[in-house]
Structure 1
């Protein structure tokens, strides 16, 4: 009788302890975040990824109730930043500003130290942005047709800047050269922003630039724009033609940005982040900021929708790399 009573008390204590632990975990997640959140960016300050991160940073911090800190880790076609984010603790305090390039590099590099699907939990897409083919104003051609004729008459004499091998800007240019027969030399840069700096000084002939970072320079005459890479003209920049309508029919390439977190981040935190990122993307002030620079705000209906989109992008770019017979580094 006494032994039975003792056993009953032990069982009750154990259940009470398990309930308390479970409650504490739930409370910890429900109370998220309790400290500043880090948003890792795989490019240097001033690039398109950085511009996107800093545009959503204040409002996301406001909705989360905690400061959001941008952490720039540029290099290797955004792979340095992606690897760092993937290896961070899955506690919701490290976010990654995902970019379309991360769905290309599995096809262009033999060894990458992260898997864009297995090592991340998708949160939401944020914006789609055209690439913008630009040159220093001193380059003679004034439009796309003139550029094609000019380049074809000078094979291997012009160069173009782009971030790491296999990144979205590089692949967009590879696709253009393949479709036009132009022979323009690729000069890789640690980041797109570094390439943009040298294009602005005239050291580089041209580049396939991120719209968010290049358009302001086009507006003040420091760069000449030849066309956007999307099938339709960009909102907020409808005076700039598409490359397709400017002499390369059928050409299309788009860059996108979205928020991800390390794999195994608790579902409750992923859903809290999804809710607040969607609120940010749907904010009128944020939308106008993207549209003003040629972007199209696009929030994912669910994290799973964003994950399916990323998987489709991986498959699409694998076909492009194979068709272009590109080397895997």
Structure 2
């Protein structure tokens, strides 16, 4: 009887020990989750850093500062813009991709973010896996213009003329792999027309040759091209936007011109490191959407040549993936390689 009682006592002690270990383990697992939840609820409790992976003074930089000033007012914390240019945006993007996913490091990118994986074989981060979309600021349509020295006065006329004069069908760009280059390749592939790419070191050096008729076509921003078209130096054929542009209401959209599936355009938006808490991403997305849809911000974005979009985080992430796939196909067919 005594031995049985002792065994029962030892069993009871073991049960209590096991229960204590289980409780302690549960508490240890709960502490990080509780801390993360508290951090999410308290966000933002300090300034937020936003990296622009392009030089200061450009449109991307100006738009970022416009939007982030308004965001700071809404979240009650300073938003500090930091320029980290280089390697087609990859230096600054790598910095944010490797930052803590806590909502205090953000990134502003343009379409090159989704195109880079197709152009560069060696990247130190994965644009899709290591970063996640927060909110799209807007689309940046391109104006398709031709030299006023050439006969075609519409996109369809240009395609017909180009097929009849393949040796004269050239398009300029600001360099291999640039947005203007890929837009021209997409147009060539979409129309079945052979076009010869003529790269320049920037858009400015290309303009005299476009105006004189040395090159036939270029795709570039509405900011640059609308003044030239209004002056009669180039001919605006179409805009790569779902709707006509306020500053050029007589220029048809690419869909109106007969090519609804050829819509090369850039975009600008905000990303965060992957694994940033969903609650923080959703809060940021909602705040940025409100900023982008403010009338004064919309007016300034349009002045910059940007069609305001906004929207939710998951929508933007899906769009980025689709863009990466679309441009990968264009790059592969064109045989473009930059490294």
Asked whether the two chains share a fold, i.e. TM above 0.5, the reply is: yes
Assess if the C-alpha contact under 8 Å between 2:200 and 2:206 holds in 1: no
Alignment of 1:183 onto 2:196: yes
Assess if the C-alpha contact under 8 Å between 1:132 and 1:225 holds in 2: no
**Pairing of 1:258-297 with structure 2 (within 5 A):** 258-297=269-308
- Aligned in 2, Cα 1:223/1:56: closer, same or farther, shift over 3 Å? farther
The aligned residue for residue 317 of structure 2 is 307
Assess if the C-alpha contact under 8 Å between 1:48 and 1:210 holds in 2: no
**Pairing of 1:37-116 with structure 2 (within 5 A):** 37-116=48-127
The aligned residue for residue 182 of structure 2 is 171
Measured in 2, the distance between the counterparts of 1:317 and 1:287 equals 28
What TM-score, normalized to structure 2? 0.72
Assess if the C-alpha contact under 8 Å between 1:99 and 1:256 holds in 2: yes
Structure 1: state its 5+ residue gaps: 189-194
The aligned residue for residue 191 of structure 1 is none
Query: How far 1:14 moved relative to its partner?
Result: 8.7
The aligned residue for residue 149 of structure 2 is 141
The one of 174, 188, 194 equivalent to 1:162 is 174
Show CA shifts across 1:65-116 (max 9, x none): 1222222233333223322221223222221112222222222222222212
The aligned residue for residue 319 of structure 1 is 329
The aligned residue for residue 6 of structure 2 is none
- Aligned in 2, Cα 1:22/1:90: closer, same or farther, shift over 3 Å? closer
- Please, which moves more after superposition, 239-248 or 118-127? 239-248
Measured in 2, the distance between the counterparts of 1:10 and 1:83 equals 42
**CA RMSD across the alignment:** 4.2
SS of alignment partner, residue 277 of structure 1: helix
- Aligned in 2, Cα 1:239/1:69: closer, same or farther, shift over 3 Å? same
- Aligned in 2, Cα 1:214/1:55: closer, same or farther, shift over 3 Å? farther
Show CA shifts across 1:157-180 (max 9, x none): x883426x4343321133345545
Query: How far 1:31 moved relative to its partner?
Result: 2.1
- Please, which moves more after superposition, 305-314 or 12-21? 12-21
Assess if the C-alpha contact under 8 Å between 2:226 and 2:236 holds in 1: no
The aligned residue for residue 127 of structure 1 is 138
Q: Greater Rg, structure 1 or structure 2?
A: 2
Show CA shifts across 1:51-74 (max 9, x none): 431331211111121222222233
SS of alignment partner, residue 91 of structure 1: coil
Assess if the C-alpha contact under 8 Å between 2:229 and 2:236 holds in 1: no
What TM-score, normalized to structure 1? 0.74
Q: How many pairs were matched up?
A: 312
Measured in 2, the distance between the counterparts of 1:183 and 1:243 equals 24
Assess if the C-alpha contact under 8 Å between 1:83 and 1:113 holds in 2: yes
- Aligned in 2, Cα 1:323/1:289: closer, same or farther, shift over 3 Å? same
SS of alignment partner, residue 96 of structure 1: strand
SS of alignment partner, residue 310 of structure 2: coil
